[in-house]
Amino acid sequence: MHSIIPLLIGWGLDLCAGDPARLPHPIVAFGRWISFFERKTNHGDHRRAKGTFWTVATLCTLFLSAHLALAALWTACLQWEAGGTYLYYLVTGILIFYCLAGTTLIREVRRVFRAADRSLEEGRRQVSHIVGRDTSRLSDQEIRTAALETLAENLSDGVIAPLFWLYLLGIPGMLTYKMINTMDSMLGYRTERFKDFGCAAARIDDAANYLPARLTALLMAVAACIPFRQGKSARNLKEELRFIRRYGRMHASPNSGYPEAALAGILDCRFGGPHHYFGEYCFKPYIGNRLRPLTTTDMQQAVTVNRRAEILMILTGVLLYLL
């Protein structure tokens, strides 16, 4: 990064606004491109080879194009002296903003809990906006559990991992990570339609999230060491890390289990169990062992942990820049 200013602009915009629903969004463009090449090529023989080719070609093209475009923008802005520099900071700050989803995620989870408080059907409809599973038969507690699992998993996918790749490879790396994550969310299923074509997308997503997922769990564990306003005591860091090591590896995904285990340990609850994806039955191993009712207080505590972990990651970026 040329400056810490774009990071603070992007994060500040996300805190204030969340995802801009009425404005053009690069992730929507990513999704349309993925749908296009999947529709055109995911048929016939050699589906795995075709999926691998299009996945790798798309990611390489995006990374190189973003790098060249930002280099050209920086060169052009330098011609404008001080004003040009601030224009570059604004543009790159907006790109960072588009890659962060912390505020929108928290907003959606709060909506799920409010809807579930009103009625079971409203809760099912609301949670269907943030999960890929079949929600038509979920119980009240399954709705709340699904929302909290998504909150933990997407803290990694929507905040910590994008910032990790920003710090490592700059904005091109951050944008490429978002494409990887979007590909996995659209293609990375083990159903008959996607198991071959989406294999490369799923494997690359696993690799891209390996370190960020574990970093997310660590940040959540550290965040939980601070006492909560709701009266809950702070977690013991050593016990929380032991819990994460025990349950993090039990998830079907090599990565999602770690932030989910962190939150299950913090809330002293149980995640996982049976689900339906695209009409197919799927059982996820249980994370945690205490089955208990989840309440709005639990959701508020989880949101607090998310925000604290997010702040810790931003402070990490500031520290890296100062060093």
Residue 140 is predicted with a pLDDT of: 93
Residue-wise DSSP of 150-179: HHHHHHIIIIIHHHHHHHHHHHHHHHHHHH
> Are 107 and 18 contacting, i.e. CB atoms less than 8 angstroms apart?
yes
Structural domain containing residue 313 = 5-322
Distance CA 158, CA 184 (A): 13
User: From CA 255, how far away is CA 142, in angstroms rounded?
Assistant: 22
Number of domains in the chain: 1
Task: Give tens-digit pLDDT for 266-300.
Answer: 999 999 877 666 566 677 788 988 889 999 999 99
Q: pTM of the predicted model, to two decimals?
A: 0.92
Residue type, 18: G
Residues 25-46: tens digit of each pLDDT: 888 899 999 999 999 999 989 9
Beta bridge partners of 287: 271
SS3 content of the chain, % helix, strand, coil (to 5): 70, 5, 25
